[in-house]
Amino acid sequence: MQLKHLAGLALIASLSACSSMDSGSSDTASAVASDRFKDKCNAEAVQDMLGQRVTPALSKQIKEKAGAKSVRVLGPADPMTMDYKSSRLNIDTDEAEVIDRITCG
């Protein structure tokens, strides 16, 4: 009989451990979401750079103007990873290293 009670108490204790408690986690989630958008680059702000020949100094200037954390310069035959990073600026160039597209990701 006592074993039945102990088994029942163990079940209740294990189920209560699975219950959720509101500890203000929505505030934390909001802060994380706003941080995620804070790091996003703005490719529209640098579209005026299209047609220019890319240099290290120009790519740094474009990165800063776009608010990006990093920049990736890609030629037409360059391999690239397919991972998406909202804080990264992509500068696509032609064979002559002239900028023909600027995007985030």
> 25-53: per-residue pLDDT in tens?
444 444 444 445 556 899 999 999 999 99
In a domain, 18, yes or no: no
Q: Quick check: is 24 in a domain?
A: no
Query: What is the CATH number for 87?
Result: 3.30.10.10
Using DSSP, state whether 99 is helix, strand or coil. strand
Q: Is residue 28 part of a domain?
A: no
Question: Has residue 96 got a pLDDT over 50?
Answer: yes
Tell me the whole-structure pTM to 2 decimals.
0.63
Could you give the residue ranges of the DSSP H alpha helices within the chain? 2-18, 25-38, 56-66
| Residues 51-88 pLDDT 10s | 999 999 999 999 999 999 999 999 999 999 999 999 99
Single out the residue of 13, 69, 12 nearest to residue 90, CA to CA.
Answer: 69
Residue 72: inside a domain: yes
pLDDT confidence band for 7 (50 / 70 / 90): low
52 inside domain:
yes
Residue 17: pLDDT band (50, 70, 90) is: low
What angle is formed at CA 72 by the lines to CA 70 and CA 76, rounded to 5 degrees? 170
The answer to whether the CB of 45 falls within 8 A of the CB of 67 is: yes
Question: What is the pLDDT, as a whole number, of residue 51?
Answer: 98
- Decide if 20 is inside a domain: no
Total domains present in the chain: 1
- Structural domain range at position 71: 40-104
- Average of pLDDT values for 14-26? 50
Torsion on CA atoms 10, 13, 14, 18, rounded to nearest 10: 170
